[in-house]
Amino acid sequence: MKRFFSASLCLFASLLLATAGSPVTPPAPYGPLPSDRQYQWHDLEMYGFCHFTVDTFTDREWGLGSESESVFNPTHFDAEQIVKAFKSAGLKGLILSCKHHDGFCLWPSKYTEHSVKNSPWKNGRGDVVREISDACHKYGLKFGIYLSPWDRNSALYGKPEYVTYYRNQLRELLTNYGPIFEVWLDGANGGTGYYGGANERRTIDKTVYYDWPTTWNIIRELQPGAVIFSDVGPDCRWVGNERGIAGDPCWATISDDGWYPGHADEKLLNSGMRDGKKWIPAEVDFSIRPGWFWHQSQNDKVRSATDLWDHYFESVGRGASMILNIPPDSRGLIYEKDVQSLAGFGRIVSQTFAVNLAKSAQVTASNVRGGGKKFSAKNLLDGNRNTYWATDDAVTTPEVTLTFKKPVTFDIVSLREYLPLGQRVEAFALDQWRDGQWVQFAGGTGIGSHRLWRGEPVTTDKVRLRITQSPACPALAEFGLFKEAVAGVN
């Protein structure tokens, strides 16, 4: 009897273990990983740039530094109109050119007279940075700052004292205007300028003059959540062109040995490096108009909504972030045509991605890590980038199949990796079930934060994703099928 009891106890215990299984651990991370602030930043995907200064009134792209403060006088400045136009495009934040190369400050800095405080606008009592940041916070957009390191107005430029001046201004901006999501550090540096009346050419040694690590520390200390942009990071990098096009693929990783702001290989910035040592993803900066600043002569050269939509695929769709510049005009408003394109673009994006057709599918995978629920392929369809499908370590080329009760028609496929475990997948293929067999309709190199495929409409009742190359088991967060909604928008 006693024996019977202990034998059944043993059986019971082993049954219990078999059902619970040993806990399934997540895959080990692969390669460089995003920091928390970078992971949050990836989620934004699209935000805006706002170039506004004396150039808006002088019809220049790079002010000389000699402009009188009296030049700055927007007749109808309305921060809410500007921010609402950005918001209508679905942009999640706005980075304002608080000071461009001409040195004119859009806020009443206590370190210079060359600012709004000596302009006729609001009798010198205005603060563009205040009004724009307030409007951003009111309408739920994040606010970021551009503070040009090159300053063609300052007499100090080129001397060590200028770096102190620059840092003092940065402190003003980082402490007086609420949370800052990104600090944009421009790489254009040095050349001719007014420089307090000297009117000469000043060159600086870009490798040491600014002592960037010290400045980055100030940003970390005052705004720990802010990502720092420069040509080469540390948090996000330039994409190597101002045309709005990321490389295909555009790896989030790169090695920056020997590079510094103003000196990096543009081709490699564009593509990233598969074996890069650091996680420094690309940011795609381009303008809705030919120039960064508003020019009357460019009012008929504003990008259309569908043009912006194309660039969405060439930036966001390749795992980079898109920063679209929309400059206010000399009234201090976003010009009518720009407003129209932004709203149209926003409508296309929100309508297209409103319904993930994949959600109605039954999903099966060739392998699920530990065979349990935690890493199930259903995680691909829950709209949550923090849950993911993963396979056993040894399985690096799995596939996942979506089966529909009725055929679906889509022309966009969306894939996302689970970034906290690194950029893992190197190649994938997509198949549709047609006439009783699998037919490949797309494929690509790299997935990363977001990978979009866009093509001719596909109608089918079965779709298959094959991971065809990966140095480690994949960890995929999301899978989406969408139908483009561009009708009637231009």
- Residues lying near ligand FUL in the complex (CB under 6 A): 61, 186-188, 285, 292
Q: Which residue is nearest to ligand FUL (CB)?
A: 188
Residue 379 makes contact with Ca ion by CB under 5 A = yes
Q: Do residues 180 and 169 make contact, with C-beta atoms less than 8 angstroms apart? A: no
Query: Distance between CA 383 and CA 381 in Å, rounded?
Result: 6
75 CB neighbour count, 10 Å cutoff: 10
Q: Which residue is nearest to Ca ion (CB)?
A: 387
Residue 304 per-residue DSSP state = P
C-alpha pair distances (Å), 405 with each of 128, 364, 378, 462: 55, 14, 17, 9
Where are any strands of DSSP class E within 104-168?
142-147
| From the list ligand FUL, Ca ion, none, partner contacted by residue 175 (C-beta under 5 to 8 A by kind) | none
Secondary structure class of 139 (helix, strand, coil): coil
Amino acid at 21: G
Q: Which is nearer to ligand FUL, 161 or 266 (CB)?
A: 266
CA angle 163, 165, 169 (to 5 degrees): 115
Q: Count residues binding Ca ion (CB under 5 A).
A: 5
| From the list ligand FUL, Ca ion, none, partner contacted by residue 379 (C-beta under 5 to 8 A by kind) | Ca ion
Query: Distance between CA 490 and CA 67 in Å, rounded?
Result: 38
Q: What are phi and psi of 310, to 5 degrees?
A: -60, -45
Q: Do residues 53 and 72 make contact, with C-beta atoms less than 8 angstroms apart? A: yes
CB of 226 to ligand FUL, least distance (A): 18
| From the list Ca ion, ligand FUL, none, partner contacted by residue 307 (C-beta under 5 to 8 A by kind) | none
CB of 292 to ligand FUL, least distance (A): 4
Interface with Ca ion (CB under 5 A), residue from 73, 340, 387, 445: 387
CB of 341 to ligand FUL, least distance (A): 19
| From the list Ca ion, ligand FUL, none, partner contacted by residue 292 (C-beta under 5 to 8 A by kind) | ligand FUL
| From the list Ca ion, ligand FUL, none, partner contacted by residue 188 (C-beta under 5 to 8 A by kind) | ligand FUL
C-alpha pair distances (Å), 144 with each of 137, 139, 193, 435, 454: 11, 15, 27, 52, 31
Residue 203 makes contact with Ca ion by CB under 5 A = no
71 CB neighbour count, 10 Å cutoff: 17
Residue 373 makes contact with Ca ion by CB under 5 A = no
Q: Which value, to the nearest 10 degrees, does the dihedral of the CA atoms of residues 348, 349, 352, 355 take? A: -140
Interface with Ca ion (CB under 5 A), residue from 75, 214, 384, 490: 384
Q: Which is nearer to ligand FUL, 61 or 134 (CB)?
A: 61
- The gap between the terminal CA atoms of the chain, to the nearest Å, is 84
CB of 45 to Ca ion, least distance (A): 16
Query: Distance between CA 87 and CA 244 in Å, rounded?
Result: 20
Residue 477 makes contact with Ca ion by CB under 5 A = yes
CB of 378 to Ca ion, least distance (A): 9
β-pairing, 182-184 vs 399-417, is unpaired
| From the list Ca ion, ligand FUL, none, partner contacted by residue 259 (C-beta under 5 to 8 A by kind) | none
CB of 357 to ligand FUL, least distance (A): 37
Q: Which is nearer to ligand FUL, 55 or 431 (CB)?
A: 55
CB of 23 to Ca ion, least distance (A): 20
Q: Do residues 480 and 358 make contact, with C-beta atoms less than 8 angstroms apart? A: yes
| From the list ligand FUL, Ca ion, none, partner contacted by residue 409 (C-beta under 5 to 8 A by kind) | none
Closest C-alpha to 450, from 427, 470, 480, 421: 480
Q: Which is nearer to ligand FUL, 226 or 425 (CB)?
A: 226
Q: Which is nearer to Ca ion, 298 or 387 (CB)?
A: 387
| From the list Ca ion, ligand FUL, none, partner contacted by residue 384 (C-beta under 5 to 8 A by kind) | Ca ion
User: Could you identify the residue written with the tokens 């549709």?
Assistant: 432
Q: Near Ca ion by CB under 5 A, which window of 137-145, 331-339, 372-380, 407-415?
A: 372-380
> Environment class of residue 66 by beta-carbon count within 10 Å: exposed (0-12), middle (13-18) or buried (19+)?
middle
192 contacts: CB under 8 Å, gap ≥ 6? 152, 199, 200, 201, 202
Whether the bond between 327 and the residue before it is cis, its omega within 30 degrees of 0, is no
CB of 201 to ligand FUL, least distance (A): 17
Where are any strands of DSSP class E within 206-277?
227-229, 237-238, 253-254
Q: Near Ca ion by CB under 5 A, which window of 191-199, 385-393, 398-406, 426-434?
A: 385-393
| From the list Ca ion, ligand FUL, none, partner contacted by residue 285 (C-beta under 5 to 8 A by kind) | ligand FUL
CB of 146 to ligand FUL, least distance (A): 7
Closest C-alpha to 286, from 265, 307, 271, 266: 307
| From the list ligand FUL, Ca ion, none, partner contacted by residue 186 (C-beta under 5 to 8 A by kind) | ligand FUL
Q: Which is nearer to ligand FUL, 61 or 411 (CB)?
A: 61
CB of 80 to ligand FUL, least distance (A): 24
Binding site for Ca ion (CB under 5 A): 379, 382, 384, 387, 477
